[in-house]
Amino acid sequence: MTIHLKQRRAPTPGTIPDRLQMFAREVRFYREVAPELDLRVPRCFRAEINADGSTLLELEDLSSWREGADLEQAAALLARLHARWAENAAETWPWVVREDASDLVEALFDKTWPSLRARRDLTERARRLGDSLLGRVVEAERDAEQAGPPTLTHGDASFNNMRTSPTGEIALLDWEDFGLGPGTSDLAWLLISSADPRDWSAGIDAYGEATDLGPTLRAAAVQAFLSLNAEDENSKDAISWIANIDEAGRRI
């Protein structure tokens, strides 16, 4: 079996990874949470937090598995995770509750939005959605947190962080962003980060919870805009991000 070595330096003070203690929390995830989950994640052989704040993980290498997953199967997997830990994740692992970093995210979005707004490839609906988030990211994050009962969430449930085995088993990778929140926050990010808008309804049906995705889609759109900022105008990835942001705006 090959090993994937994941090493992180201590996060820069004052940054989002520092506020959320993302790297140390992932180590604790593999030490304390992963053994309790009825969910496929990379097997962990070593998990260390060093005195200088750096971290080290030795994980099962799943690079031979196919990146991504079937949307409906992924949505159903997330639904099972959320149902299993609804209302009791915080009791089992009190430290799972994360610090609030929405003020830092808002500052980053507000700084980035003027250049994003000027993009020629942005649709008008996406532009209106971005305008509505300017100076209101903290509010959007708060509304999303209240959109459903708290449960264990992956926090970055995109196809980039999923692998599918030759037999169809789905594994979830990269648990730096996990925490406590409404399960639909994972579903919203799965849709806006990874799914063709034409498939969203099938993914929502597979998740199986008849609920309003509006608040969590609105919060997920913030991260989608920030991801779009890294892409060149009219590039393939930019076109995909904009189509999904536009779809989120249509559904909100």
Q: Which of 82, 63, 26, 20 is nearest to 34 (CA)?
A: 26
Cα 9 to chain centroid, rounded: 22
Q: What total of structural domains would you count in the chain? A: 1
pLDDT value at position 1? 73
pLDDT band at 209 (very low <50, low <70, confident <90, very high): confident
| Inside any domain, residue 243 | yes
Encoded tokens for 91: 């009791």
Flag whether pLDDT at 17 surpasses 90.
yes
pLDDT band at 59 (very low <50, low <70, confident <90, very high): very high
pLDDT value at position 108? 98
| Inside any domain, residue 9 | no
| Inside any domain, residue 183 | yes
Q: Which domain holds residue 146?
A: 66-251
Flag whether pLDDT at 87 surpasses 90.
no
Q: What is the CATH number of the domain that holds 236?
A: 3.90.1200.10
Question: What is this structure's pTM?
Answer: 0.96
Flag whether pLDDT at 195 surpasses 80.
yes
Q: Which of 32, 58, 36, 37 is nearest to 46 (CA)?
A: 58
Q: Which of 171, 156, 154 is nearest to 42 (CA)?
A: 171
Flag whether pLDDT at 6 surpasses 70.
yes
pLDDT value at position 210? 62
| Inside any domain, residue 147 | yes
> If you average pLDDT over residues 77-87, what whole number do you get?
95
Alpha-carbon separation of residue 132 from 14, 159, 225 (angstroms): 27, 27, 13
pLDDT band at 121 (very low <50, low <70, confident <90, very high): very high
> Alpha-carbon distance 249 to 128, whole Å?
8
Flag whether pLDDT at 160 surpasses 90.
yes
| Inside any domain, residue 233 | yes
| Inside any domain, residue 216 | yes
> If you average pLDDT over residues 192-198, what whole number do you get?
98
At 89-109, the pLDDT tens digits run: 999 999 999 999 999 999 999
> If you average pLDDT over residues 169-182, what whole number do you get?
97
| Inside any domain, residue 94 | yes
Flag whether pLDDT at 120 surpasses 70.
yes
| Inside any domain, residue 12 | no
pLDDT value at position 55? 98
